[in-house]
Amino acid sequence: MGYQKQALNRDRILGPTAPRKRFLSNTSSESQSSNRKDVVSELHPLTNQSDNIRLLDYELQVKRRFDEIVPLLKRISALQHHNDFIPQAQQLAKSVLGFELPQYILEKAWVRPLDMRALFAWCVFQAHQYSSNQFFNSDPLHGSEKTQPANDFQTFLSQCGFHLLDVTPCSDGRLAHSIAYVLRIPFSTVRRRSHAGALFDVENTVNRWIKTEHSRYRHGNPNSPNDDTRYLKVVVYHFSSLSPSHQGCAAHGSDDSKAAEAGYQRLLDFRESIEKSFCCGASVDLLLIGLDTDTDAIRVHVPDSNSHIDLKKWVSAMEIYEGTRNLTYKDSIEFIEQKIDEKSPGKTQKGIVAFITKIIVNNISQIDYVRQAHNGAYPDAGHSERFIGVGIGFKEVHLRNLTYFSHLDTVEEGSPDLDVGIKIFKGLNVSRDLPIPVVIRFDYSGKVPGAKARAIADCKRVNNAISIRYKELVNDGLLHTCLTVRDRDKKGSAEIVGSSLDPAIKEEH
């Protein structure tokens, strides 16, 4: 994607002083494909340019660390027969990536070819750990708990009539940034679980709803049960405007109508499950959002007061972007609300209208973000994830095409999601003779005795199941795992508790 080159031209992309008019990036030859028009325009009046600058800085910084791994290892490979190979390799790694390489791998370079697959996986795992530390220590997305943005959004959510926002994007890495970038929502105010095709597990979601309602009655958290608020469940499916038949959702055969229909049906199943079990379906609201993975523009299927949705109608953020370019803020809001009313199959609750209006306004900034930084559409139209994330957690991952998610408790139940991820990485990495890096994560509550030990045991259990299911890849050194746990009750980053690259484990193989 040319992130290193792009970073050097960051001021050319967005400008150090954030003027309202700015030429867009010409930093990557890939972004100048013949089927894409050059986009040179004035920013939309609703765009938050300071946020765009901050978010781009973070994206470039994190992805650059991953994208520098292969060029660095190529340089190190050329040095492996030098007398001072190990000092040179460590100095290079430290200066470029910020960390050293495993000594025991380098020390074997004089008797056997340097294990570049192991070094590649090690570097990916360390880059992820570095990014995790940065995320939790400095809050670069300004979305952690009790910050002003989080407090403001939680207040807004309550005013809309919702006590909790639960979002399921597709596990496709092109949607990993859907919360912090596409919708511009503080990550700590959202419950996010990604699934292939956005097909969330209904039973697990019902259980999370039960825990939420129980917490409200016991602790008034997030809202008192006396408040007339509801649980908002959102599904985000995806499609491609530039290559609709090839770069849409693989789980639905790149058919966006099927993706929307399946996502809506899963929402209805969730609501029906609560109605039949607890007779209180009115406490749940549903929302379906489509995301164009080329431009990051969203389309929102407006529900009526009974959460009925017409799948053939939606409010297009891109159309609103074009229709409000010359309007004032007040007139733009009225324009958006009018479009919401036109696309609604019936009367829509004021809270839903306010929520949809806000995320569309937020998405306008993201549309300009892509227009400025990527000439209107991402150059990586398909997959270019850096690693697979498996388990429960990954609160720190909010960047497009950084991670393919496979949220699971057991490999057996999560095999459909994980198999899709492995298939994707066979194309991305194995085809280049590089291994598939898998980070296993289980968050735990430090307030619960023995919780950390159980999280570590879960990591080992899943790691063992992965080694069995993908035995051939593991034996060939084409799949490596890193086991991590994190105390969700603290702001600290994830802790590495094991890896297939540990010396003792490597010797066994």
Which positions are catalytic? Answer: 172
State how far the Cα of 491 lies from the Cα of 144, in Å rounded to an integer. Answer: 9
Tell me how far apart the alpha carbons of residues 509 and 408 are, in angstroms, rounded to a whole number.
27
386: closest CA among 437, 341, 312, 342?
437
Q: What is the largest CA-CA distance in the chain?
A: 76
Residue for token digits 């733009």?
332
Count of other CB atoms within 10 angstroms of residue 468 = 10
Q: Which amino acid, residue 143?
A: G
Structure tokens at 264: 């809506």
Q: E strand or H helix at 276, and its extent?
A: helix 256-278
Q: Provide the edge-to-edge strand list for the sheet that holds 190-192.
A: 190-192, 162-169, 230-239, 284-292, 298-301, 315-316
193 and 168 Cβ atoms separated by less than 8 Å: yes
Structure tokens belonging to residue 269 = 């199943």
* Omega of the bond leading into 222 within 30 degrees of 0 (cis): yes
Q: How far is CA 442 from CA 64, 483, 505, in A?
A: 26, 9, 21
What whole-number distance in Å separates Cα of residue 262 and Cα of residue 238? 12
Cβ neighbors of 27 (< 8 A, separation 6 or more) are 2, 5, 6, 8, 9, 12, 13
How many beta carbons lie within 10 A of that of residue 418, not counting itself?
Answer: 26
233's enclosing H/E stretch is: strand 230-239
Residue 440 · residue 497 · CB < 8 Å: no
With residue 428 as reference, give the H or E element that holds it: helix 411-428
Instruction: Say which residues have a Cβ less than 8 Å from residue 388's Cβ, sequence separation at least 6.
Output: 403, 404, 405, 406, 418, 421, 422, 425, 436, 437, 438, 439
Give the Cα separation of 323 and 318 in Å (integer).
9
Q: In angstroms, rounded to a whole number, what is the distance separating the alpha carbons of residues 25 and 376?
A: 10
> CA gyration radius for the chain?
23
Indicate the angle between helix axes 350-374 and 148-160, nearest 10 degrees.
140
From 300, 329, 330, 303, select the one nearest 315 (Cα to Cα): 300
Rounded distance between C-alpha atoms, residue 378 and residue 380, angstroms: 5
Q: How many CB atoms lie within 10 A of CB 28?
A: 18
